Chain A
Amino acid sequence: MIEIKNLHKYFENHHVLKGLDLTVSQGETVAVIGPSGSGKSTLLRCMNLLEIPSTGELRLDEIHINARHISKTDLLSIRKNTAMVFQNYNLFANKTAAENIAEALITVRKMNKRIAMDIAQQMLKKVGLENKADHYPSGLSGGQQQRVAIGRALVLNPRVVLFDEPTSALDPELVQEVLQVIRNAAQEHVTMVIVTHELDFARDVADRIIFMDDGKIVEQNSAAEFFINPRQERTIKFLEKFKQQNMYYI
């Protein structure tokens, strides 16, 4: 279980997160939506301490952290127990697809190299890329790279996988293959927090939707309720804009 209490984040004088509280239960899929600049990505990056929160508390099961004093051990144990999927994939450019997945097993978990590569091969099969094991990221399409990145995250069996707009950099026709891999993970009850602009996907895959604006959580509800019965004025406005946008596509 992840618990965030009264989280604040400043960049210089810019107040990005303004006192957030959030709990994610084990096995839950939470989608975070909201306009650009609302602090969604920063929230996500605070959850694995890629950004160090200015104040507030973060709890990941037995690991408890107060932003005022974060020890190196705490920082590492948070990162070892979480994983992240980035907007730009960020696959290790000097490693093949299989090596990308095996890297942390070998370096961080000190696993035997051959065993780790076997596990990586199985994971590649799971994301539908068993024939791409020896390809470097430069030889893969965006969608393939992102599926490897998801495999790299899932193989660690982290307490939570954080997705930072996993499909935003993809060509439209490659989005679905990535979303399908995430859907499969949700069905296996991997705990996930997904920042996304794909509202249809959010409704489809998430148990709960969080709507953020201006560094705060404006509204949260079960996926079904959220889209049918938004309660806050700000949420209704945001959803209406989205519906209008979609009409252009039809």
Chain B
Amino acid sequence: MKGILDFSYMIQSVPTIAKGIPISISIAVIAFGFGIMIGLIGALVKIYRIPFLKEITNVYVSFIRGTPLLVQIFLSYYGIPLAIRHINEQFGTEWNISFIPAIYFIYVAFALNAGAYLTETIRAAIMAVDRGQLEASYSVGMTTYQSMRQIILPQALKVGLPNIGNHFIAMLKDTSLAFAASVPEIMGMAKIIAGRTSRFFEVYIVAALLYWLICIVLERLLAVLERRLRRNERGVKHD
């Protein structure tokens, strides 16, 4: 009697589904990189209570946190082409919408999504650094930029790394939503071959294992990074 699972089919399907790995990782890495920049700007806007920008940031964070990522992906996928067409009509430019790969809309949606969550995470991390650190750097003549760069942000990174790492892992798993914009990442590839053979369960188990494997590697990397950043808690510098 045949078992529930067709193991040889599962193993066969791995190379095809694994083709989606670079795309999943590229979405997570690129979007997260921009997300960190957005988050840092958003955090500083909120901390320094910059008028007008602060209100915009609040609305942005509230909207992103209050709407599902899947909806944001659709808004980006259908909204950006509309916006570009509008700009073309208004300013006589001739940007061709159909040449933009779908993955760019995914980058935008994911970067904006990560940026909103990271705004709060980075803000909390910066606020967690003792105020005396900033005063001390001011007292030796450093500018706000120099203090941030040399003293505050390195310490905030140490405080915020576990949270930022969690966001990254969560985002990597969320890249599975990109198939909604027909981007062939892990989940997209799985759907394609499952559709051909109707062996949905086997294919999705393989997809699940691949996500899990990537996340295990990420967890290890984060632990190493965290240990490196925490070395100044051990009292003595070892080069």
Contact = CB atoms under 8 A, between A and B. Distances in A.
B236 A135 contact: yes
A91 B232 contact: no
Interface residues of A, number: 31
A83 interface: yes
Interface in A88-121: 88, 90-96, 103-104, 107-108
Nearest to A45: B135
A86 B151 CA distance: 17
A104 B150 CA distance: 10
Given A135-B236, A136-B233, A139-B235, A82 B154 contact: no
Nearest to A81: B141
Given A50-B139, A86-B136, A92-B137, A139 B154 contact: no
Contacts of B237: 96, 134-136
Contact of A136 (B130, B141, B158, B235): B235
A83 B141 CA distance: 8
A103 B139 CA distance: 12
Contacts, number: 85
Contacts of A139: 234-236
A156 interface: yes
A114 to B, nearest CB: 14
Interface string B134-146: 0111111111001
A135 B139 contact: no
B155 interface: yes
A76 B140 contact: no
B151 A50 contact: no
Contacts of A90: 130, 132-133, 135-136
Given A107-B150, A138-B235, A86 B135 contact: yes
Contact of B139 (A84, A88, A136): A84
A135 B235 contact: yes
A103 B233 contact: no
B132 A103 contact: no
Interface residues of B, number: 24
Q: Is the interface of B mostly helix, strand, loop or mixed?
A: helix
B235 A79 contact: no
Interface in A15-60: 48, 50
A92 B136 contact: yes
Nearest to B135: A50
Contacts of B146: 107-108
A8 interface: no
Contacts of B155: 93-94
Nearest to B147: A107
Nearest to A48: B139
Interface in A129-144: 134-136, 138-140
Which of A92, A136, A139: most chain B Cβ within 10 A?
Answer: A92
A176 B121 CA distance: 43
A225 B132 CA distance: 36
A50 B142 contact: no
Contacts of A95: 151, 232
Interface string A50-87: 10000000000000000000000000100111111010
A95 B133 CA distance: 11
B191 to A, nearest CB: 46
A117 to B, nearest CB: 12
B150 A136 contact: no
A83 B232 contact: no
Contacts of B136: 84, 86, 90-92
B137 to A, nearest CB: 7
B232 A108 contact: no
21 contacts: A50-B139, A76-B143, A79-B138, A82-B139, A84-B136, A90-B135, A92-B136, A94-B158, A94-B232, A95-B232, A103-B137, A108-B141, A108-B142, A134-B236, A134-B237, A135-B235, A136-B232, A136-B235, A138-B232, A139-B236, A156-B141
Given A90-B136, A92-B150, A94-B151, 19 more contacts: A84-B139, A86-B132, A90-B130, A90-B132, A91-B136, A92-B133, A92-B136, A93-B130, A94-B154, A94-B155, A95-B151, A104-B142, A108-B140, A108-B142, A136-B235, A136-B237, A138-B233, A139-B234, A140-B235
Interface of A: 48, 50, 76, 79-84, 86, 88, 90-96, 103-104, 107-108, 134-136, 138-140, 152-153, 156
